[in-house]
Amino acid sequence: MKQSFTVRQGALDGVEAFLSVARHRSFRKAADELGVTTSAVSQAVRVLESRIGVALFIRTTRSVGLTEAGERFHARARPAFEELVSASEAARELADRPSGLLRLTVPRGAVPILLEPVIASFCRAYPEIQVEIVASEELVDLALEGFDAGVRMGQFIAPDMITVRLSPPFRLVVVCSPSYLANRLAPELPAQLSDHACLRWRRSGGVIADWSFNDNGRTIEVAVNGPYIANDFPTLLGAAVEGVGLTQLPEPIVARFLAEGKLLRVLDPFAPVAPGVFLYHPGRHQVMPKLRAFIEHIKTRAGSPRPNS
C-alpha cells in the first residue's frame, strides 16, 4: 500500500542558520556570514528547535556548543544541505550558459532537409550542448516526454505553442514514378484518383489523411484508396519511386527526385500550399539557454523571422 507522505512547509527553514552557527560556534559570526542580524539567526535556530522538539545548542554567555541531539542533527543535516547547494548550482549552470542535453522531436523527412545542414555547425559553435534528435511522426507532449522543442508542419502545431519558421510555405504535390504511368493515363482531376493506386499517410492519431487540393481557391478533400499505407513521408516516397502508386508529399521532400526524373508531378494545377515547417516550444519563460542558442543559430543560418507571440 502506497504510504501518504507530505513535505511539511518550511521543513528546511533555519537549517542554514543552524549549520553556520555550528561551524563558527558563534551566533554573531554566523550572522556576519549570512549577512543578517544576530537576533535573526537566533530566532531562526529557535524556530528550528521548536519544530524538531529538542534543543540543538548549549548556550552560555561565553560560548556555544552542540547538544547530543545537535550533534546527531548536524552529522546528517550538513552533507544533505551541501548536496542541496550542489544540486542548485548544477541546475543554475544550465540557466547561466548554453549547455546540457537539447532534445528535439522531429519527423523523419525533416531531418535531412532542414536539420542536417545546421546541426553540424551548431555542434561546433556550442560544444557544451549535446543534441538528441528523436525522429518520430508522433505528436508527442513535449513536457511529458522530456523534449525541449519539436519540429512539425505548421497546421499540426497547437495554437498555444511558440513557433520559429524553419522553411517557407511549400506546395503539397502528387507524384509517381514514370513506370507507374507506363500503362495508364495520369489523372487530370482529383476525382479521377478513384481509378488509381494511392499511397496513403496514417497520422499519429491513427486517422488516414485525406488528400487536400486547391480548386480555384476552394479547398477540397479527397478520400483516396490504394494498396499501401505508411506513417511517415520517407516511406511513402520510397514506395512511389518504386512505382507502387501515387502519393501526395511536401514538395521539398520530392524535389531531388523530380529533378532526377525518378518522379513526375500529376494534378499540379490543384496543388495546395502548406504553411511550412516550424520549430515549436511551450513558451518564452521556459526557454533555457541551450534552446535559445539553437533558435538564434537557426535564425542566423536561415534568415528566419522572429518567433511569434
- Which domains, and CATH codes, for the chain? 15-94 (1.10.10.10), 100-168+276-302 (3.40.190.10), 170-274 (3.40.190.290)
- Residues 213-227 pLDDT 10s: 999 999 999 999 999
Q: Give the three cell numbers for residue 19.
A: 549549520
pLDDT of residue 11: 56
**Residue 271: C-alpha distances to residues 73, 172, 188, 287 (Å):** 73, 6, 12, 37
Helices 289-302 & 68-96 angle (0-180, nearest 10): 0
pLDDT at 1: 43
Confidence category of residue 306, pLDDT binned at 50, 70, 90: very low
Q: Distance between the two ends of the chain, CA-based, in angstroms?
A: 47
- Can you give the pLDDT at residue 264? 97
Q: Is 283 left (phi over 0), alpha (psi -120 to 50) or beta?
A: left
pLDDT band at 285 (very low <50, low <70, confident <90, very high): low
The pLDDT of residue 206: 87
Q: Are 168 and 255 in contact (CB under 8 A)?
A: no
Secondary structure letter of residue 53 according to DSSP: T
* pLDDT above 70: residue 303: no
Q: Give me the amino acid identity at 69.
A: A
DSSP 68: H
Query: What is the per-residue pLDDT for 300?
Result: 82
Judge whether residue 95 has pLDDT over 70: no
Average pLDDT over residues 148-154: 92
3-class DSSP state for residue 304?
Answer: coil
- What φ, ψ does residue 16 adopt, rounded to 5°? -65, -40
- The average confidence (pLDDT) of the chain is 87
Q: pTM here?
A: 0.67
Question: pLDDT at position 304, please?
Answer: 42
